[in-house]
Amino acid sequence: MNLAKPSVRVAVLGCGTVGSQVVRLLLDHSQDLNARTGARLELVGVAVEEIATAPVPQGLDKALLTEDAIGLAQQADVVVELMGGIEPARSAILAATQAGASVVSANKALLAADGPTLFQAATEAKVDLYYEAAVAAAIPILRAIQESLAGDSVTRVLGIVNGTTNYVLDRMTLEGLPFDEVVDQARQLGYAEADPTADVEGYDAAAKAAILASLAFHSRVSFQDVYHEGITHLTQADIAAAAATGHVIKLLAITERVSGPDGQDRGIVARVHPALISQDHPLASVHGPFNAVFVESEAAGDLMFYGQGAGGKPTASAVVGDIVTAARHKAYGGRGPGESAYLALPVLDVGQAITRYQIRLEVTDRPGVLAQVASVVAQHQVSIEAVHQTARQASDGPVNTADLTVVTHHATEKALSETVVALAQLPVVVAVEGVLRVEGE
């Protein structure tokens, strides 16, 4: 006896780069998706800003287009929010949950800024809120942390979560090109927006770091909690110095649990900044616009997730995966995992992070300089792992100078940053030419 499959109404809010690909997948692969879901996915509408100017995905009945996103959200079983930004996306999601719809979103900015409000609304309405595509597109990192590692304890997550900056740094490293020229290349290839500020200043990666930290450490972490630096200040001199010590520079998102001397958790530190990674580390081999996330856990050990972290098709793949799961729950009952914030660990100031510095100095080339530098470092409870000095070509000025590279052992970010300030004030230090953290070692 053949029973008719239940029908699940799906609404897509936003039909840009990702939305149009989601619509295409829903239309082109409807039979496969229905079989995987166990229900008929019925596309009931696509919300756009202006019907008159909106591109219509191939195969989509233009009659399904609407400018009323909130009205459409109240008529579906699963609402797919791909508008981006804070509003009207937040209002549309809340309207959907209040109407009993599950939600799938790729909106990292909204989730990082006001995730608790959305999670609470979904919990009260007893519906799903899925957002795998919000971090690293097609890479299934959120589901892995939230579900596959649910029986483990994650201690640290670090990774490359912004394809634009990875492409820029990769080209600077491999081709020796200046920053501005590579950013222009990234624009032409579609890896960077016309205004790449969110990427190159670290805002995009910080939003993703907040989401990762919230999931990994069962605590609420928002965008405002994440320390972030961008890559706009990096030069070919920084790239060359990294290579000379066997490193490459990557923009890393790092979230970690910080323990006290007694081994008890003191809190979480979440940070985004350029860092030196050993050429032997798996993250060093991540090239172009690809992403990779390295997870350290107590039982499973070290895990790395790699793949395309941006683009319409990869992101749409993750979105449709969430749609299938949410639709299956709608058809047959059940719910996915909701927000888990039971640990409620405090978010600590970045000064309490434990890291290492590579400090590049221009110093006067005379006896006793290294002793003065070492003394200042020791005064700040920091120890030196290695020092390398190279004489510069003879200067036309009264004093010859040398390049001095100091690599520290692990210490707190506060102690290390204060050390750099003190070094800059030494009479024998002509300039602090570069400071980069060393991670993954």
- What structural domains does the chain harbor? 7-135+313-332 (3.40.50.720), 141-308 (3.30.360.10), 353-439 (3.30.70.260)
Burial class (CB in 10 A: 0-12, 13-18, 19+), 370: middle
Give residue 286's Cα distance to chain centre. Answer: 15
Q: In the prediction, which pLDDT does 391 show?
A: 81
Burial of 426 (0-12, 13-18, 19+ CB in 10 A): middle
Amino acid, single-letter form, for residue 270? A
CA–CA separation, 94 vs 91, rounded Å?
Answer: 5
Q: Evaluate whether 13 touches 94 at the Cβ level (below 8 Å).
A: no
Name every residue whose Cβ is closer than 8 Å to that of residue 45 and which is 6 or more positions away in sequence: 11, 12, 64, 65, 66, 72, 75, 76
**Displacement of CA 270 from its chain's centroid (Å):** 11
The dihedral formed by the CA atoms of 117, 123, 124 and 126, expressed in degrees to the nearest 10:
140
Instruction: Annotate the chain with three-state secondary structure.
Output: CCCCCCEEEEEEECCCHHHHHHHHHHHHCHHHHHHHHCCEEEEEEEECCCCCCCCCCCCCCHHHEECCHHHHHCCCCEEEECCCCCCCHHHHHHHHHHCCCEEEECCHHHHHHHHHHHHHHHHHHCCCEECHHHCCCCCCHHHHHHHHCCCCCEEEEEEECCHHHHHHHHHHHHHCCCHHHHHHHHHHHCCCCCCCHHHHCCHHHHHHHHHHHHHHHCCCCCHHHCEECCCCCCCHHHHHHHHHCCEEEEEEEEEEEEECCCCCEEEEEEEEEEEEEECCCHHHHCCCCEEEEEEEECCCEEEEEEEECCCHHHHHHHHHHHHHHHHHHHHHCCCCCCCCCCCCCCECCHHHCEEEEEEEEEEECCCCHHHHHHHHHHHCCCCEEEEEEEECCCCCCCCCEEEEEEEECCEEHHHHHHHHHHHHCCCCEEEEEEEEEEECC
Among 127, 166, 145, 138, residue whose Cα is nearest residue 333: 127
So which residues are the catalytic ones?
Answer: 208
Nearest to 42 by CA among 67, 11, 65, 87: 11
Inter-CA distances, 9 with 15, 43, 119, 332, 385, Å: 17, 6, 22, 14, 61
**What pLDDT was estimated at residue 198?**
95
pLDDT of residue 311: 84
Global pTM reads: 0.93
Terminal CA-CA length for the chain: 61
432's CB contacts (< 8 A; 6+ apart) are 359, 360, 361, 420, 423, 424
CA 317, distance to chain mean position in Å, is 18
Can you list the residues of the chain whose pLDDT is less than 70?
A: 1-3, 393-398
C-alpha to C-alpha distance for 255 and 230, rounded to whole angstroms: 17
The per-residue pLDDT for range 91-115, each reduced to its tens digit, is: 999 999 999 999 999 999 999 999 9
